[in-house]
Amino acid sequence: MLPAAQFAMAAADIHHRTPEFRALYERVLGQLKTFVGTNNDVLLLASSGTGAMEAAVSNLTSPGDRVLVLSAGKFGERWEALAKAFGCQVDLVSRPYGETFGLDEVKRALRLDTRAVFVQATESSTGVRHDVEGIAQLLKSAGSSALLIVDAITGLGTTRLDVDGWGVDVIIGGSQKAVMIPPGLAYLSLSDRAWKAAEISKNPRYYFDLRKERKNAQKGESSYTPAVALIAALGAALDYIAAQGGGDLAAGRDALVDNAETCAAMTRAAVRALGLELFGPGSYSAAATAVLPPAGVDSGVIVKELKSRFAAIVTNGQGEMKGKIFRIAHIGLFDYMDTIAIVGALEQVAATKLNLPGFAFGKALAAAQQVFAERSARPTAITAREPELVKA
């Protein structure tokens, strides 16, 4: 967690129906608009990311609505389950874990009465990036009136997204991902078209009534008791991101995306140099890199070795991918130093546990170094961490 956010949390001892809180809330909601990159209002909810996913379904659809879910992993399956839970008639474009969809198959699945299309910007369970821009363009060129609803919980801050320019109607983020604070907050923005759908939805709503939330947010308040300390932390985190862009939050967000892309590219090069294979045929996200262990090795062995010998956290595959892949995160606070460290530790694990043909120390590190040198020679890249940024 970001140290500045930790201090802000500890100091956030204010009552929520006060001018102090209203000032904080309005400031953070404004910052979120810039971070997301939209002119639409952004709402904050006291829930994990899934709460905002559920709010999108319950507020913008009605039972019996035909919707299209694009699914290629655990979080795509969550959209499907949510839409079904609220009585939608779900059409599904489904690809195996590790893959993404072709725009032609999305086009074929789109119908005249499709009310909404649900997708992930990045599918965290597989490390794959989906083509949100392409899907948005497709909806436009097909003359579809379907809302485009994007789970960008790991996409925001790792992926370039032009929310308003592309015509994304709903975009969803979560506090524990790129904004580097603890879990417990979800945020989302809705387009005018989406607000119209919220007005006509026949679903019952109470805690996640976005219309009510918007009305209150306009007065600097939340409908129910807000997660005050997390909101203070979020403000501090967005200040920190702005500082990465010389005080410009949009530039800071772009620097954050750039950093994640650099770490991801370093990791992919390192993994290949080691003789391991990346999971999936391409379209790699910068949120996390999913790697296949050598044949016959359970990925849990690698996860355990990294944790027990180096206190390095990489994650196993989820659900059906457990034991079959391991995932190295690049989102948020990870940077060059972390990436070099994890690649070095991975070489140690490979040396003792993986029996890879042609293994030699330094090959993976050299590949990562090379990528960093090339990318940081580009004028837009950020090349160094802030000196005061110390790991918590």
Cβ distance to ligand PLP smaller for residue 174 or 317: 174
Contact status, residue 69 vs residue 61, Cβ threshold 8 Å? no
Between 35 and 336, whose beta carbon lies closer to ligand PLP? 35
Q: Which is nearer to ligand PLP, 75 or 336 (CB)?
A: 75
CB of 71 to ligand PLP, least distance (A): 12
Given a contact cutoff of 8 angstroms between Cβ atoms, the answer to whether 324 and 301 are in contact is no
Question: Which DSSP symbol is given to 281?
Answer: S
Shortest spacing between CB 20 and ligand PLP, in angstroms? 28
Q: HSE of 130 in the Cβ direction (CA atoms, 13 Å)? A: 34
Nearer to ligand PLP, 50 or 370 (CB): 50
CB of 191 to ligand PLP, least distance (A): 20
Q: How near is the Cβ of 68 to ligand PLP at its closest, in Å?
A: 18
Q: H or E element: which one contains 81?
A: helix 74-85
> Shortest Cβ distance from residue 124 to ligand PLP (Å)?
3
The rounded distance, in Å, linking the Cα atoms of 99 and 6 is 37
Chain residues in the site for ligand PLP (CB under 6 A): 48-50, 75, 120, 124, 151, 153-154, 174, 183
Q: How many other β-carbons are positioned within 10 Å of the β-carbon of residue 206?
A: 9
CA separation for the pair 282, 261 (Å, rounded): 15
Question: What's the token pair of residue 225?
Answer: 């008791």
Residue with token string 């206190």: 311
Give the C-alpha distances (Å, rounded to integers) separating 246 from 77, 126, 388: 40, 34, 15
Q: Which tokens hold the place of 203?
A: 């679903």
Quick one: 37 or 174, whose CB is closer to ligand PLP? 174
The residues, any chain, with a CB within 8 Å of residue 379's CB and separated by 6 or more, are none
Q: Residues 232, 259, 308, 297: what is their CA dihedral angle, to the nearest 10 degrees?
A: 130
**At residue 102, what are phi and psi to the nearest 5 degrees?**
-85, 145
Give 28 or 329: the residue with its C-beta nearer to ligand PLP: 329
Cβ at position 174, least distance to ligand PLP in Å? 5
Q: Which is nearer to ligand PLP, 97 or 372 (CB)?
A: 97
| Smallest distance from ligand PLP to CB 315, Å | 11
Q: How far is the CB of 14 from ligand PLP (least distance, A)?
A: 25
Cβ proximity to ligand PLP: between 23 and 85 the closer is 85
Distance of alpha carbon 207 from alpha carbon 69, whole angstroms: 25
Question: Residue 165 has what DSSP assignment?
Answer: H
